[in-house]
Structure 1
Amino acid sequence: MNYFAHLHIASITNTSWVGNLLGDFPVEPASLEADLLVGWRLHQKVDVMVDQHEASVLFRSMARKGRRRFAGIVQDIVMDYWLIQYWSDFSTQPLSVFCEQAVSGLALDKERSPDRLKNMICSLERENWLSNLGTLDGVEKAIRSIMHRWQHGTHLQGFVEELPSVIAQAEAPFLHLYPDLLAYVRQEMKKTEATHSLG
């Protein structure tokens, strides 16, 4: 899952908005304050669960121009696309209200964020583009952003060239995976709460 899904998970679990994004940014976990660390750990667990889920295995195996070994990177982005399309199935909040709430929450911890995340939060404060992740243009921009900063980014070009098909391929896997993921994160938070109560 990419930014949007991790923010949705932050809202569901009542954990740090910034903490839940930190898994995608270079940080030293031992240096994180407790609330950020909880979010960071949840992000790591989400990434492992998603990667191992049968729906992800199916998506990575689908025929396309993009190389299979890099399909998981694109999957994270197109899963955000489908979460936004099916938003009303997973939240009672209007999408616009959630996006504003997420940016406000991120801004509160902007100064505790690494520079690249801080820059992203500043960008969101200037123009809240979260809902654009649910558009074809937004998906392409997200992929090209990775291509620009990643030394192996050219390997994602094949996915861009047939992007509408790649997005369509992700719909059924998303609908299979995301309810399982939400059940998983709720269970993980219950375990965390139980551990803290015992401590």
Structure 2
Amino acid sequence: MNYFAHLHIAERTQTSFAGNLLGDFSVQVDTLPDDLLEGWRLHQKVDVMVDEHEQSILFRSTARAGRRRFAGIVQDIVMDYWLIRYWSQFSDMSLALFCQHAVTELVADAHRCPERLQKMIRSLEQRNWLADLGTQQGVENAIRSIMRRWRHGQHLQPFIEELPEVLAQGEAPFLYLYPDLLAFVDQQA
């Protein structure tokens, strides 16, 4: 799961929004305040559960001309896309209200976050792009952002070239996996 799903999980479990994103950022775990640490731990558990889920394995095993190794990165972003597309099935809160609430929560904790997460929060505060992750362009932007930051980023270019197909391949796995994930996080709370 990527940012949006982790924020949804934070809302559902009443844990720190920033803490639930920290799993994707370099942090000194032993220095985290309890609320951020709780979110960080939940993020780690979610990532393991998702990676081991049969639908994730199926998505990653789809033939992609030698790119299976990087499919998990793209899967996280694709899962956010489908969560936004099916939002009303997973939340009673409107998408717009949730996105605003998430940014408000993140801004409140920004000062306690690593610089890279602070930069992302400032970006969200300036232009809340969370709902954009539910568009093909938003998915492409997210992949390109990873490509710029990561030394192996060039390996993600083929996913962009086949993005409509990749998105379509992610729908069924999302619909099976996400309810299982929500049941899992409910047990963690």
Question: TM-score normalised to the size of structure 1?
Answer: 0.94
Q: 2:172 maps to which residue?
A: 172
Q: 2:113 maps to which residue?
A: 113
Distance 2:157 2:142 in 1: 12
| Local SS of the residue matching 2:37 | helix
1:89-130 per-residue CA deviation (whole Å, 9 max, x = no partner) reads 000010000000000000000100100000110111111000
* 1:18 Cα offset (Å): 0.2
Q: 2:55 maps to which residue?
A: 55
Letter in 2 for 1:41: R
* 1:28 Cα offset (Å): 1.0
Matches within 5 A, 1:64-143: 64-65=64-65, 67-143=67-143
Q: 2:26 maps to which residue?
A: 26
**Contact 1:20 1:39 (8 Å CA) reproduced:** yes
**Contact 1:13 1:186 (8 Å CA) reproduced:** yes
Distance 1:134 1:58 in 2: 22
* 1:188 Cα offset (Å): 1.0
Letter in 2 for 1:37: L
Q: Which has the larger radius of gyration?
A: 1
Matches within 5 A, 1:137-152: 137-152=137-152
* 1:40 Cα offset (Å): 0.1
Letter in 1 for 2:123: S
Point out where structure 1 has 5 or more consecutive residues left out of the alignment: 190-199
Question: TM-score normalised to the size of structure 2?
Answer: 0.99
Distance 1:128 1:148 in 2: 21
Answering whether residue 6 of structure 2 is matched by residue 9 of structure 1, we say no
Q: 1:193 maps to which residue?
A: none
Point out where structure 2 has 5 or more consecutive residues left out of the alignment: none
Shift >6 Å, 4+ stretches: none
Distance 2:66 2:30 in 1: 37
**Contact 1:55 1:176 (8 Å CA) reproduced:** yes
